[in-house]
Chains A and B, each alone.
Chain A
């Protein structure tokens, strides 16, 4: 602000995980402009909620839903995110950190949030492909890739993480065996009785549990095929997940000469042995203790931020944490000294028929530990009693039956004090949630999440947040999940709008807006392109495309670049080109002095830096050589990537290049909800990377495998297998049918990966694979629509070149 102020201090954060970014948020909340900030992350994307990987694995939520900070979040705050580059060295003399690719950043304050590494058992075969840990989204993807029918997985470790992994894999339909070295599961959270009940519940779900099972070796030649136990038994395994614990990640700190024990040693202000370097999260060791749960780490983040911004001298005090198992349908909670050391008393309730077990441990008339299994409804109340250290002698005889019976006035959330913690992950008390509901007029759980962060991490307090909303709003609160409106101009969701267009035969954007009661005269930049697409898809033969409702790229038929110039990509069918085309491109590049020419990931040639007014002439020249628009700019069919196939390759089993050309000839020009990328590989070596494409074809000896809904973007998603077919005609029919189903059902700007995750691959298979009549109908509708879309937009645009130039010059 002040021109004379000294340069901003430089803060570097090593670790783009939950602890590091939570601390960053706390810092920004205290002093938004104090630092020039750089974040290094070893994983190649923004920050996501690692706690929620288990529900992603189980298919109960998607990766997109657990991303908490995408690239835009950093960009909007002017924070430099260096994702996909691990830091390999700290130079404490010069105060620099150096990344594995050589990136160097100077710091005034350095925050280490390197987290922890999963422990790999040092058994023979542990390094075989197919042996993994459960730590990152990449691990989840590896597990999901292994979830083929008939596959066997072995999970080593019957603790919290191991059981969540096992449950997730089982939900995905494969056989799972859990190995645990001790006699009872989750011994750090459960007593023997509740552990026995948990085991029975898991076995009832079809999991195999082997206790006192020690792994001797992992078997396999090229990849894992099995596992041998110490007692000689052998288990079949296509996937082995090691979930035997974590170890603070300290290599970087140790190499830098910082004091390191089990973790990076920190004092109560979270400072390491070098006062310019702080540490937070699972990498630290504080008073001899390491950490693996989220609640204490959030507390550390606050202390860290206080120290770094110098707004307060706060100190981290270890506090007791509670644990829940994120397995849907299993209700458990555990906290404190639940086993009961000497000098403590316990009160136990058991109802074996209902599957309920509760154990409360008291010492000196105070609650010091609790295990609840089968009914954890009052967990928050017990946890508050535990943390507050209140004397419970007066209600001891009724303590097991919850607050209502114990004589606490009203039941449920109404009974809680304002200081009572609702969201353990984020440390949000009841009073703050009620305050936010009143102050900002919040009416939904999502709004509470956005405003207070309550229930935004593991989500297990969502029920309590709902209850608070109900308590605060009375009947005005509607707990039913609401459909997200398309945008702020309407209350209707995407599906309702599409249904109305179809049912009421709405023909134009203004008519649709009028009919559905839009609140704005002509919508906004979100709904207009969506409506334009929906109308185009519904009425391919009669709808008049509204250019003013298209993003500039689709209006200009070229990709806008950050300096306002455009990039031009001609279509090359199946990636094939010729001397004539290359010569024409070379001529265009020279004639218009195009600064950059690059080969794209989809095997096309991109000319970058074309000025707007040059576009029509560039297109005219390319058209003259027989080339048409490559639609590299559109929510449309982009490219069909191919390998050389059986024509040239000694491994090729089919002519993948010709197949790619045929598919591209059929599909080009199609407008779709989002961009669509295809590929055809000539053998299972998959050189065209078909398994990360929207529709990927892989040749096998007996025909073709058809894969759908892959994505190579921020989050790599491997395709789901749609079907295996034997003829070329079937490949084309399935491809058209899938694209048409996606065109008709996906929300605008929803990639096939998200679309298929939303509706499920079973839904897609039911409509395309098992219903031949429906497949033929979809195929027919696609080809009908293509009759009107396969016109080269460049050719049409080049006829009105004036549109691209300045209208006038006035000086």
Chain B
């Protein structure tokens, strides 16, 4: 699935490692709206549409812990790798491919 879709992906540089606080997020404006790019404690990068599946809270403003973010509006916990809400809540936020190339952060922004 990933391999197939990555063929068509266009990677765009959105910033460098130092632009992102650990356990934090920055936002990028894209054609599908705001995308939140997260940097976790172990320096992994994840990107989600900046909108909680519950009431569209801005996930970029949440507290990042492990590979999860807690939405600032009603404390839903969203998995960073798959965008899925942790039980007992149900819902899913769109994920966006992101990767680190040296110090450069690349986003495969949907067109």
Contacts and interface: CB of A to CB of B under 8 A. Distances in A.
- Whether both chains belong to one complex is answered with yes
B30, B34, B63, most chain A CB atoms within 10 A: B63
Nearest to B39: A548
Interface string A121-157: 0000000000000000000000000000000000000
B85 to A, nearest CB: 13
A520 B66 contact: yes
Contact of A522 (B15, B41, B58): B41
B65 A807 contact: no
A808 B14 contact: yes
B63 A808 contact: no
A807 B19 CA distance: 8
B63 A810 contact: no
B55, B72, B77, B107, most chain A CB atoms within 10 A: B72
Nearest to A72: B74
Given A560-B61, A808-B29, A521 B42 contact: yes
B30 A811 contact: yes
A549 B23 CA distance: 8
B1 interface: no
A548 B55 CA distance: 23
A295 to B, nearest CB: 30
A548 B29 contact: no
A525 B77 CA distance: 9
B42 A807 contact: no
Contacts of B27: 806-807
Given A521-B41, A808-B15, A564 B58 contact: yes
A11 interface: no
26 contacts: A522-B23, A523-B65, A524-B68, A524-B77, A548-B21, A548-B22, A549-B23, A549-B63, A551-B72, A560-B58, A560-B72, A564-B56, A564-B58, A564-B61, A806-B29, A806-B34, A807-B27, A807-B28, A808-B14, A808-B28, A809-B28, A810-B28, A810-B107, A810-B109, A811-B29, A811-B30
A520, A552, A807, A809, most chain B CB atoms within 10 A: A807
A549 B41 CA distance: 12
Interface size class, chain B: 35 or more
A525 B15 CA distance: 27
Contacts of B64: 548
Contact of A810 (B14, B58, B68): B14
Nearest to B54: A76
Contacts, number: 86
Interface string B85-110: 00000000000000000000001010
A566 to B, nearest CB: 10
A522 B62 CA distance: 14
Contacts of B72: 551-553, 560
A251 to B, nearest CB: 38
Contacts of A521: 41-42, 66
Interface in B6-31: 12, 14-15, 19, 21-24, 26-31
Nearest to A560: B72
Contacts of A560: 58, 61, 72-73
Interface of B: 12, 14-15, 19, 21-24, 26-31, 34, 37, 41-42, 55-58, 61-66, 68, 70, 72-75, 77, 107, 109, 111
Given A808-B28, A810-B29, A810-B107, A556 B61 contact: yes
Interface in A532-576: 547-553, 555-556, 560, 562, 564
B79 to A, nearest CB: 13
Interface string A412-452: 00000000000000000000000000000000000000000
Contacts of B63: 524-525, 528-529, 548-551
A564 B51 CA distance: 10
A524 B14 contact: no
A524 B31 CA distance: 32
Counting from the closest, the 7 A-B pairs by CB-CB distance are A525-B70, A552-B61, A548-B23, A525-B63, A808-B14, A807-B26, A552-B72
Contacts of B56: 564
A553 B109 CA distance: 29
Contacts of A550: 63
B24 A564 contact: no
A733 B7 CA distance: 69
A515 to B, nearest CB: 17
B35 to A, nearest CB: 9
Given A520-B65, A522-B65, A811-B109, 4 more contacts: A549-B63, A564-B58, A807-B37, A810-B14
A806 B72 CA distance: 18
B58 A806 contact: no
B31 A811 contact: yes
A295 B44 CA distance: 56
B37 to A, nearest CB: 8
B62 A525 contact: yes
Nearest to A525: B70
Contacts of B24: 548
B59 to A, nearest CB: 10
A72, A562, A806, most chain B CB atoms within 10 A: A806
Interface in A789-811: 806-811
Given A564-B57, A808-B28, A810-B30, A528 B73 contact: no
Contacts of B29: 806, 808-811
Given A548-B22, A807-B26, A525 B66 contact: no
Given A522-B23, A522-B41, A562 B73 contact: yes
A807 B14 contact: yes
Contacts of A524: 63, 65-66, 68, 70, 77
A610 to B, nearest CB: 14
A523 B21 CA distance: 17
Nearest to A527: B65
A549 B56 CA distance: 22
Nearest to B63: A525
A552 B62 contact: yes
Contacts of B55: 562
B13 to A, nearest CB: 8
Nearest to A489: B65
Contacts of B62: 525, 552
Contacts of A552: 58, 61-62, 72
Contact of A807 (B15, B73, B75): B15
Contacts of A553: 72
A560 B56 CA distance: 13
Contacts of B65: 520, 522-525, 528
A521 B30 CA distance: 32
A553 B63 CA distance: 11
B99 to A, nearest CB: 14
